[in-house]
Amino acid sequence: MQRAQAAPSEFRQHGIILLPAMAGIMLCSIHGYSLGVMIGPLEQEFGWARAQISTGPLIISMIALLVAPLVGIAIDRFGTRTIGIIGTILFTAAVALLSTATPDIRSWWALWVVLGIASMFVLPTVWTAAINGYFDRNRGLALAIALCGTGIGAAVFPFLTNMLVEALGWRGAYIGLGAIGLAVVLPLVLLFFHGPEGTRGKASSSGVAGAPVQKGMTLAEGVRSARFLKLATAAGLFSFAICTLTTNAVPVLIGEGFDRAAAAAMAGLIGIGSILGRLGGGLLLDRFNAGVVAAASVLTPIITIAIFLGTEQSVLGAGIACFVLGLSVGTELDACAYLAARHFGLRSFGALFGAINGLLLFGAGLAPLVANHVYDVMRSYDAVLWAIIPACVVTAALFLALGPYPSFEEDEDLALGEGTAPAAA
């Protein structure tokens, strides 16, 4: 009965936390969605190959493989608020520092190392860990609302970056992106972002922010489980596939004959589709098995690929392709976060999802490098587009193989029975 009463009160009591979480998740996508616009100006000024420019996200992904699980452990031990505040400041400063790159390509890579370290403190793990602690019955929708931040980023950052480049040049654009990110996100985090470990979480009477945080697998149990292997592999593979399309959407559209401004505006439809896909996906995650929902969503990019391969300089076709791609992007991270919470519980969610998030970032970082290396060699993205199709099919199979959610209620009851004696009646 208490659980049933808690569901409608979750948004009423804790809904405000979704605002800074959404802003933080939007912020951590700024470098990815701006890079496609920056490739042309950097290529023109320094003469770097696209693969060299695209090494930046790979550097972040390599750092993430090592550091993201450690950040997750820190979240489990020390909470989310302090990490979110420090991360917002460090990350926006690192974005602005990209403006200091010199003609030596090594300076560009060094700046991405700095950005990569700073980005670990604004990973989705930081924001979703707090949400999972406050929401249970409406967790899918709450995650979807917060993760709309990536959709907002996809809709806004290509267009905003192009405007800043045209007005200030690429160096001024990076400074502007960092300054805007800091001005928007930091006040929201300072005012409204409190994890369930904070005073607001302890004061909750819903039962959501307290006991559920302790249920689930330990870090060792989770890492050894077959479900973890399946989910981590699916996350990394689909991240590679989807980020090949999203990060290179502007260059692909330019290759079809659109100018940079039109391509950036068209790519913004990915963000709009992502927001709708995320909200719709969140509702579905709360009502159906998330593995089935995720499997369906990862097959959607095949439609986008078919349109890209079958049309050329078609405004309608490109618009539909970007919008459909956004629908799939909108469910990707939500489903992984939701599946991690349901299959492993919340006891070590930060560490376990941190490891999965590291693989998500590894796939996201490797994708632009591989895709642009293929382009440098073949002067076309077609081979990359064809390769994404089997990757989507394998990912769908892995999500389906996760099966039904385990129950941690028995473990909790056993732990309570074997613990200290209950208070006198």
pTM: 0.68
CATH 3.40.50.150 is right for the domain spanning 16-404: no
pLDDT for 197 equals 55
What is the sign, positive or negative, of the torsion defined by CA atoms of 162, 271, 325, 247?
positive
pLDDT for 7 equals 53
Exposure b/e, 390-420, CB count within 10 A at least 16 = b? ebbeebbebbbebeeebebeebbeeeeeeee
pLDDT in tens, 133-181: 788 788 878 888 888 888 788 778 988 999 999 999 999 999 999 999 9
pLDDT for 413 equals 45
Cα–chain-centroid distance for residue 131? 15
C-alpha 19/C-alpha 397 separation (Å) is: 34
The answer to which of 26-35, 135-144, 161-170, 393-402 has the lowest mean pLDDT is: 135-144
pLDDT in tens, 174-233: 999 999 999 999 999 999 998 765 433 333 333 343 434 457 788 888 888 999 999 999
Q: What angle do CA 128, 405, 360 make, to 5 degrees?
A: 40
pLDDT for 201 equals 36
Question: Per-residue pLDDT averaged across 376-398, rounded?
Answer: 91
Task: Specify which residues 216 forms β-bridges with.
Answer: 345
pLDDT band at 409 (very low <50, low <70, confident <90, very high): low
pLDDT for 102 equals 95
pLDDT for 423 equals 37
Residue 423 has what DSSP assignment? P
pLDDT for 2 equals 43
Question: Per-residue pLDDT averaged across 248-252, rounded?
Answer: 82
- Between 173 and 313, where is the model more confident? 173
Mark out the alpha helices in 193-247 (DSSP H runs): 199-203, 219-224, 226-247
With a cut of 60, say whether residue 5 has pLDDT above it: no
With a cut of 80, say whether residue 390 has pLDDT above it: yes
| Nearest Cα residue to 300 out of 403, 388, 400 | 388
pLDDT for 180 equals 96
pLDDT for 214 equals 53
pLDDT for 418 equals 41
As a whole-number percent, the residues of the chain with pLDDT over 90 amount to: 32
DSSP strands (E only) in 334-405: none
For helices 30-46 and 260-287, angle between their N-to-C axes, nearest 10 degrees: 160
pLDDT band at 334 (very low <50, low <70, confident <90, very high): confident
pLDDT in tens, 46-58: 999 888 998 888 8
With a cut of 90, say whether residue 27 has pLDDT above it: yes
Average pLDDT for the chain: 83
pLDDT for 210 equals 41
- Between 30 and 268, where is the model more confident? 30
